[in-house]
Amino acid sequence: MGQIDGVSPVAVCTDARAWLRFAPMNAIATRLTAALLVACACTPAVAQTALTPVDAAATVADHPEAANVQVESLDQNPSTAVAAPPADEAAIAPPISAGDAHEGDAGNARQDDEHDEEADAAAADAFFERLAGLCGHAFAGRVVIDAPTPAGDDPFAGKALVMHVRECSQRELRIPFHVGDDRSRTWVVTRTRKGLRLKHDHRHADGSDDDVTLYGGDSEAGGSARRQQFPVDDDSRATFTRTNRAVSNTNVWAIEVEPGQLFVYELARPGRLFRVEFDLGQPVAAPPPPWGSR
């Protein structure tokens, strides 16, 4: 922006600000003078001394009739000519702080977590209903994986294996697992606030509790209507450690249900995999009650 009739651009722009703020003018004069003031703020030579974009914004805000005036810089150099911002965008927006960005990320993460929890709960409900659909029925099974091979007597070898979905409520399912005449084992699947819980109820023939009983864990995230996994919980680790079975402190149990086809019980840990499958397409006669039940 050069000299205007011998008058410096700083003087012109300073006078424009004074005219707009104090001189009585009609609407047309006000709009033109305000436009001049905005152009002054957009001209580098002037913005460094007389005015800043904030000055221009404040003045235009005082005169809304000038809000929609579009002008170019008074500098005749096309490379520095810019359009005046609308009044509602003239004020400089505060930068987004790191804290605000972190809060936004945290909010998105919470929404994702809530969505994942809802999906897990829905899958657990669907799984429970599948299992409950077997209530009152018994099915024969066989061991398909037992690795490594037991070094001593195999408690499952040559034995009839039968699971019986025997006791059912809206909250809990009790499933005795009979190994020949051994009726000591019952799987207990219970609803929780976030999913499901699997426990192993072990009894002696007189119905009293075994030293190692009610061990198991809660369903982990990512389960489906077909398969749920249950990593060992802290109470079970304490039981295993107390009874010199610390090798079981990394156990993960799983149950699978494919209606009309397959029921699976599985135990896995590093170096150990046990899996027994039951044919849901061929129900069998219900076995006697498990030990401790009537």
Cα dihedral 118/120/125/128 (nearest 10) = -170
What is the chain's mean pLDDT, rounded? Answer: 79
Higher pLDDT, 104 or 26: 104
Q: What is the predicted pLDDT for the residue at 61? A: 45
Q: What is the predicted pLDDT for the residue at 152? A: 87
Distance separating alpha carbons of residues 174 and 131, to the nearest angstrom: 10
Contact by Cβ (8 Å): 94, 196: no
Q: What are phi and psi of 177, to 5 degrees?
A: -120, 110
Higher pLDDT, 114 or 212: 212
Higher pLDDT, 127 or 16: 127
Mean pLDDT within 14-19: 47
Q: What is the predicted pLDDT for the residue at 94? A: 59
In this predicted structure, the answer to whether residue 198 has a pLDDT above a threshold of 80 is yes
Any bridge partners for residue 217, and if so which?
Answer: 198
Q: What is the per-residue pLDDT across 70-95, written as a single tens digit (0 to 9) for each?
A: 433 334 444 444 444 454 544 455 56
Q: What is the per-residue pLDDT across 149-179, written as a single tens digit (0 to 9) for each?
A: 988 899 999 999 999 999 999 999 999 999 9
Distance separating alpha carbons of residues 43 and 35, to the nearest angstrom: 12
In this predicted structure, the answer to whether residue 63 has a pLDDT above a threshold of 70 is no
Percentage of the chain surpassing pLDDT 70?
A: 61
46 — pLDDT class (breaks 50, 70, 90):
very low
- Whether the upstream peptide bond of residue 94 has omega within 30° of 0, thus cis, is no
Q: How far is CA 174 from the centre of its chain?
A: 31
Mean pLDDT within 131-146: 98
Percentage of the chain surpassing pLDDT 90?
A: 59
Determine how many CB atoms are found less than 10 A away from the CB of residue 68. 11
Q: What is the predicted pLDDT for the residue at 5? A: 47
Place of tokens 């086809």: 261
Q: What is the predicted pLDDT for the residue at 209? A: 98
Distance separating alpha carbons of residues 70 and 17, to the nearest angstrom: 17
Mean pLDDT within 223-235: 99
Q: What is the predicted pLDDT for the residue at 267? A: 99
What are the helix (H) ranges across the chain? Answer: 9-22, 27-41, 44-47, 53-62, 87-90, 98-132, 234-242
pTM of the entire predicted model: 0.64
Higher pLDDT, 63 or 252: 252
Encoding tokens for residue 103? 């809060």
Contact by Cβ (8 Å): 291, 184: yes
Q: What is the predicted pLDDT for the residue at 217? A: 99
In this predicted structure, the answer to whether residue 187 has a pLDDT above a threshold of 90 is yes
Sign of CA dihedral 236, 238, 243, 248: positive
Q: Which residues of 30-67 are buried (b: 16+ CB within 10 A; e: fewer)?
A: bbbbbbbbbbbbbbebbbeebbebebbbebbeebeebb
Taking only Cα atoms into account, the Rg of the chain, rounded to an integer number of angstroms, comes to 39
